[in-house]
Every structure is written in structure tokens, then in C-alpha cells.
């Protein structure tokens, strides 16, 4: 018996030497089996090829401690970052002459881009002028309402944009056009933006309180829509519906602003007309960013309608014409209302026809062109009001 003749110490040493190769073989076999099983499991979970490196596999499988993945900030090239910065600086216009610390706050209000303010103001002018025509309001009353609404539209549109940027700060950094906005670029903190938003709302409240009391409670009804709009793009493809409600509210406010009763037979069709118009031009606006929006998970009518956008806009435009003309008939408007309606709506349908929805520059040009369309439609109302005021109608 060999193990007896060698003695205890030598027996253990020889036994260890004898088993070491077996242990090593077993260890390698188990390691290989576990590695193959792990790769097969990861392949089944991620859909990636088992031949991919562990680094690639781990990038597709979320850590156990983070079951819900969050969108990461995309990496823009140095050229894209510089282009965005230069585009922002070039677009500042007169804001560039202000003290540097003020500029980001006025950018939050979009003062360098008055398009939105004007598109918010035009339906207010419609409402004021239609109401003034209906009751033949005095010119000082008319002019006072126009002035107060102009200031109110400026600050409340600014407040709305500030709220939008607060909600969207983690989405704006995923879109090249918006990644230089003050909050997402770090030039304004969220607490600073909230303070600025409150200040703008207080100015808007002061203006509202200077108008007849009916304007106060009617204006207050719009605030939930203003606050909720930025959230809708996260779970529905129709945030434009909420925005269109907000932008059409001036059609209603214009009536009590000049002391007229809210005549829904006139204000209702006028509201609907502006609502449909806003749906059209904001859908065109949304087509600018649709490729980025898909990646960022931002929803819009541009993505919902896709290739059907133009037929839908034509249908909405036709309904807008019918609603607008109905408001005119119910308010017994004069001839210039209808003449400028023909001019304005022909422009609108030409815009729909010519816009290239796959070209951001074409979309922007069509979007901004709606200012002129809205002004033309207002011009007819204004002429009729002045003619009636001075006794010619």
C-alpha cells in the first residue's frame, strides 16, 4: 500500500499534486460552461449576436439597479454645437445690445422671436374689433383694449414659453434647434426661471385686473391650458389642440374687454376659426423638428399625420373659412370683412400648397407667413369698424 509506506505528510503532498490537474480542468470546464450560458442568456434578452464583445452586450442590457432607462443626452459634434451657438447669437438682434446677464431671461420670453407673440395677439385683435363693430364702441375704448392686450400678449406669451422651457429642459437638449435655450444650456437655473415666470404672470394679472371684471374670470379659465400644454407632447400626438385653445382665447376675451356681452353666436365661430388656423400653422411648425422629435420621444400632429398632413390641413382650412364667414354674417360685418377674407384665405391655401414639409427652412417661412395672413383678415374687420364708427356703414 503506497500511501502507508510514504507517511502522512508525503501522502498529502502527492495527493495534492495528483489532483491539481483535475481541479484545473474542472475549473476551466465550469468557467467555459458558465460563460457560454451567460452569453446565450444575454443574446436572448438583448437580441444581439453572441459573438459580440462583452462591452457591446452590457450597453444593451440595463443594470439591475436601474430597471427603467432614462433618455441620455445625445452627443452632438463640435461643429453642431458651434453652429447652434452661432445661430443663437445671430438671432439675438437687438437683444445683443442689452446687458449680458439680462439676455437669457429675455430669450426665455422669446423677445428675439416675436412671431409667437403676434400670432397670439392677432385673434385678440379679431375679438376686440368684432365686438367693437357690434356695439360701435368708441375709439378710445377700442384703442385702450388694443394697447392692454398687446402688453398682455407679450408677457403672457413669455410666461408660457418660460413654463414650456422648464418642463422641456430634458427634451430641448435632444433637439439641435433648441439645445441652446437658456435653461437646457445652463445659462438660467430652474429656480431662476420659476421666479421669472411668476414675475411675468404678476404683470399679466395686473393687466387683467385693469380690464372689466368679466375678463378676469374668463382669462383665469385659460390658465390650466397654458400650464398643461408642455406636458401633452409627452403622451399624445395632439398637443397642438391645447396650444390652439390657448391661442384662440383672445377671440373670447375681446368682447368683455370693450364692454360688449360675450355673444357666442359670433365669438364661437370666431374661436373655432382661429383654433383651426392654429392647428394648421403649428403643425407646419412641428414638421421642422420631426426627425429629432422621433428620437426624443416628442409627439406632435406632424408625426401623427405624416404624409396625410396636407390633405388634413386643406380640410381644416376649408372649415376655418366657413367658421370665419359665419362669424362675419352673425355680426353683420361690412364688405371689407369679406374682401380681405378672400385675400387672406387664398394666401393660406397657397402656403399649404407650396410648403415643403421635409424642409425646415420652408416650414419656418410658411409658419411666419401666417402673421401676414392674420393681419389681412384683421384689416377687413378694422376698416369696417372705422367706417361704421364714422357713419359710413
The cell 459580440 sits on which residue?
Answer: 52
Q: Quick one: pLDDT at residue 106?
A: 94
Average pLDDT over residues 64-91: 63
Q: Quick one: pLDDT at residue 261?
A: 96
Q: Residue 205 belongs to a domain with what CATH number?
A: 1.10.357.140
Average pLDDT over residues 107-113: 91
268 is a domain residue: yes
* C-alpha span between 179 and 88 (Å, rounded): 10
Poorest-pLDDT segment among 77-81, 91-95, 188-192, 251-255? 77-81
Band (90; pLDDT cuts 50, 70, 90):
confident
231 is a domain residue: yes
* C-alpha span between 116 and 161 (Å, rounded): 10
* C-alpha span between 66 and 308 (Å, rounded): 39
Average pLDDT over all residues of the chain: 83
Radius of gyration of the chain (CA): 32
* C-alpha span between 104 and 198 (Å, rounded): 16
- For residue 33, pLDDT beyond 50: no
Q: Quick one: pLDDT at residue 294?
A: 87
Q: Quick one: pLDDT at residue 265?
A: 98
285 is a domain residue: yes
What string of DSSP letters covers 316-383? HHHHHHHHHHHHHHHTT--HHHHHHHHHHHHHHHHHHHH--TT-HHHHHHHHHHHHHHHHHHHHHHHH
- For residue 16, pLDDT beyond 60: no
More confident residue, 37 or 329: 329
Q: Quick one: pLDDT at residue 64?
A: 37
Band (27; pLDDT cuts 50, 70, 90):
very low
Q: What is the pTM of this model?
A: 0.77
- For residue 371, pLDDT beyond 90: yes
- For residue 65, pLDDT beyond 60: no
Q: Quick one: pLDDT at residue 74?
A: 53
236 is a domain residue: yes
Q: What percent of the chain has pLDDT over 70?
A: 81
- For residue 63, pLDDT beyond 50: no
Average pLDDT over residues 300-319: 97
Q: Quick one: pLDDT at residue 176?
A: 78
Find the domain containing 122 and state its range: 103-389
- For residue 118, pLDDT beyond 90: yes
Total domains in the chain come to: 1
Average pLDDT over residues 222-234: 85
Poorest-pLDDT segment among 148-157, 170-179, 257-266, 279-288? 170-179
147 is a domain residue: yes
Average pLDDT over residues 80-95: 83
367 is a domain residue: yes
125 is a domain residue: yes
- For residue 300, pLDDT beyond 90: yes
Amino acid at each position: 500500500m503506497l500511501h502507508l509506506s510514504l507517511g502522512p505528510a508525503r501522502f498529502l503532498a502527492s495527493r495534492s499534486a495528483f489532483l491539481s490537474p483535475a481541479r484545473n480542468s474542472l475549473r476551466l470546464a465550469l468557467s467555459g460552461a458558465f460563460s457560454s450560458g451567460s452569453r446565450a442568456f444575454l443574446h436572448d434578452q438583448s437580441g444581439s449576436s453572441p459573438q459580440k464583445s462583452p462591452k457591446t452586450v452590457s450597453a444593451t442590457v440595463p443594470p439591475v439597479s436601474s430597471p427603467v432607462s432614462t433618455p441620455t443626452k445625445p452627443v452632438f459634434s463640435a461643429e453642431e454645437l458651434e453652429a447652434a451657438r452661432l445661430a443663437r447669437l445671430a438671432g439675438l438682434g437687438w437683444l445683443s445690445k442689452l446687458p449680458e446677464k439680462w439676455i437669457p431671461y429675455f430669450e426665455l420670453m422669446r423677445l428675439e422671436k416675436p412671431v409667437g407673440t403676434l400670432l397670439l395677439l392677432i385673434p385678440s385683435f379679431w375679438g376686440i374689433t368684432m365686438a367693437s363693430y357690434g356695439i360701435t364702441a368708441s375709439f378710445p375704448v377700442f384703442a385702450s383694449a388694443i394697447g392692454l392686450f398687446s402688453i398682455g400678449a407679450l408677457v403672457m406669451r413669455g410666461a408660457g414659453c418660460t413654463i414650456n422651457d422648464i418642463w422641456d429642459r430634458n427634451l430641448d437638449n435632444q433637439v439641435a434647434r433648441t439645445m441652446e435655450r437658456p435653461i437646457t444650456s445652463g445659462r438660467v437655473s430652474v429656480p431662476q426661471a420659476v421666479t421669472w415666470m411668476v414675475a411675468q404672470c404678476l404683470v399679466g394679472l395686473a393687466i387683467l385686473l385693469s380690464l372689466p371684471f368679466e375678463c378676469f374670470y374668463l382669462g383665469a379659465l385659460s390658465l390650466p391650458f397654458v400650464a398643461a400644454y408642455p406636458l401633452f407632447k409627452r403622451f399624445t400626438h395632439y398637443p397642438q389642440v391645447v396650444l390652439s385653445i390657448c391661442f384662440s382665447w383672445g377671440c373670447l376675451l375681446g368682447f368683455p374687454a370693450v364692454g360688449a356681452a360675450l355673444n357666442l353666436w359670433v365669438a364661437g365661430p370666431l374661436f373655432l376659426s382661429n383654433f383651426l388656423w392654429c392647428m394648421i400653422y403649428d403643425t407646419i411648425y412641428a414638421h421642422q423638428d420631426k426627425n429629432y422629435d422621433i428620437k426624443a420621444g416628442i409627439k406632435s400632429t406632424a408625426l401623427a399625420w405624416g404624409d396625410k398632413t396636407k390633405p388634413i390641413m386643406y380640410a381644416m382650412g376649408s372649415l376655418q373659412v366657413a367658421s370665419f364667414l359665419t362669424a362675419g354674417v352673425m355680426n353683420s360685418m361690412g364688405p371689407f370683412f369679406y374682401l380681405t377674407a378672400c385675400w387672406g384665405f387664398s394666401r393660406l391655401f397657397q402656403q399649404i400648397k407650396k410648403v415643403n414639409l421635409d424642409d425646415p427652412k420652408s416650414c419656418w417661412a410658411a409658419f411666419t407667413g401666417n402673421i401676414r395672413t392674420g393681419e389681412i383678415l384683421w384689416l377687413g374687420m378694422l376698416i369696417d369698424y372705422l367706417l361704421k364708427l364714422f357713419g359710413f356703414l
